[in-house]
Homo-oligomer: A and B are copies of this chain.
Amino acid sequence: MFEFEILQTSKQSNARLGKITTSHGTVNTPAFIFCATKANIKGVTIDQLKTTGVQIILSNTYHLMLRPGNEIIKSAGGLHEFMGWNGPMFTDSGGFQVFSLGYGSVASEIKGIKQSKWKKSLLKLTEEGAQFRSYIDGKIVHLTPEKSIEIQIDLGADIIVSFDECTPYHVNKLYTASSMEKSKRWAMRSLRYLMENGDGHQALLAVIQGGVHKDLREESSAFANENQFSGFAIGGSLGKTKQEMHDIVEMTSGMLDRTKYVHLLGIGGIEDIFHGVRCGIDTFDCVGPTRVARHGSAIVKKKELPENEHKYINLGSFEYAADFSPISKTCNCYTCLNFSRAYIHHLIKTKEILSGTLLTIHNIRTMNKLMEDIRFALTTNSLDEMEGEWVD
């Protein structure tokens, strides 16, 4: 089952408070979806995860089809059973990785920061689907809309995504247009395959493509609105700058059927979340909070950030060597309740993996607290005031 309910809408913006109901429980929105890329959140057990208030996690079809393989996960009884997570779950289609992995940073590619070499690792791209080389053993792998959905059925996540071509920033409008048209056809094939082969518990999102071009985003949105998708995932290139990204998110979200659920793919900066929420985005996902944790950085509210720090508290810095206060005095995570900055600094300096575990717990809890604050602010129409606590 899948149900999306809008509980309250903002008077100041397109923000809304909502609730997603799935076979594995509910998700109060706006919500953050944490990345369990390869069937685990790195360094954190499910029990620890539950203490942070996580509602929903995301695993990647591309990685899991290559290892351990969807057949193994299907035999285990699905991904919930395999990894021990019994709450709501999201999987992507694999399209993003097929078209972006293998030539440096995925995000850079999509954002157009690097010179495009994006066709290099992709062996063949046809109307039927894509052929690429496995990064594990070099074998040639075929991925089609039908195959992507078949794998996502095997994995059994509650929310799944149509297979799309994710076009990078550097291609021209002509290519972006023809690619978007193909993604529409692939989305229809994805939908058809799910309706014929699914057990009815999975919701399919259409990916909205069209790059930075308004008319293409409009066409992609109109197509998605007209068909029986359970919701939308805004994807593709969102431009080169933060401002451009915000503009495209605002523009695209305005084109979508407002009664349906909207996810914003791969975006999770705190400022971007406030912006997205105001545009009516219901869920966000991003590897950022867990990735920076493994690199020694703690996310805190802006007003708790030491003067010399710009974005995070960098606990590897020597100024924390004898700082016996918690990362955040207002945080109620396991890490903040039990350990000091000095202890985490020590673990980072001695290269103990426990530093990653403790910081991941903190960063996840912090992102969930942010979303809790946002949901509460929406009920009291106080998003603007509350935002000042979290960002400049």
> Chain A, interface size: which category?
35 or more
Chain B residues with Cβ below 8 Å from A48 are 45, 48
> A70-93, CB under 8 A of B: which get 1 and which 0?
001001100000111000000000
Query: In this assembly, does A291 line the interface, its C-beta being within 8 Å of a C-beta of chain B?
Result: no
Q: Which of A159-167, A189-197, A348-356 has 4 or more CB atoms under 8 Å from chain B?
A: A348-356
With known contacts A38-B352, A48-B45, A84–B338 Cβ distance under 8 A? yes
Q: Choose among B42, B84, B352 the residue that contacts A343 (Cβ–Cβ < 8 A).
A: B84
A76 closest partner in B (C-beta): B324
Residue among A38, A44, A321, A350 facing the most chain B CB atoms (10 A cut-off): A350
The 4 closest A-B pairs by CB, nearest first: A68-B346, A38-B350, A84-B338, A353-B353
**Structural contact, B38 and A343, CB atoms closer than 8 A:** no
Query: In this assembly, does A312 line the interface, its C-beta being within 8 Å of a C-beta of chain B?
Result: no
With known contacts A68-B349, A82-B343, A47–B354 Cβ distance under 8 A? no
What are 30 inter-chain pairs, A to B, with CB distance below 8 A?
A39-B346, A40-B347, A40-B352, A42-B352, A42-B354, A43-B353, A43-B357, A45-B334, A45-B354, A48-B48, A67-B346, A67-B350, A68-B321, A68-B342, A68-B345, A68-B346, A72-B321, A72-B342, A75-B324, A76-B324, A76-B340, A76-B343, A82-B340, A82-B343, A82-B346, A83-B343, A84-B338, A84-B339, A84-B343, A353-B356
**Chain A residues close to B by CB (< 8 Å):** 38-40, 42-48, 63, 67-68, 72, 75-76, 82-84, 321-322, 324, 334, 338-340, 342-343, 345-347, 349-350, 352-354, 356-358
A41 closest partner in B (C-beta): B354
**Structural contact, A322 and B46, CB atoms closer than 8 A:** no
Q: How far is the CA of A152 from the CA of B44 in the complex (A)?
A: 32
Residue among A47, A346, A356, A358 facing the most chain B CB atoms (10 A cut-off): A346
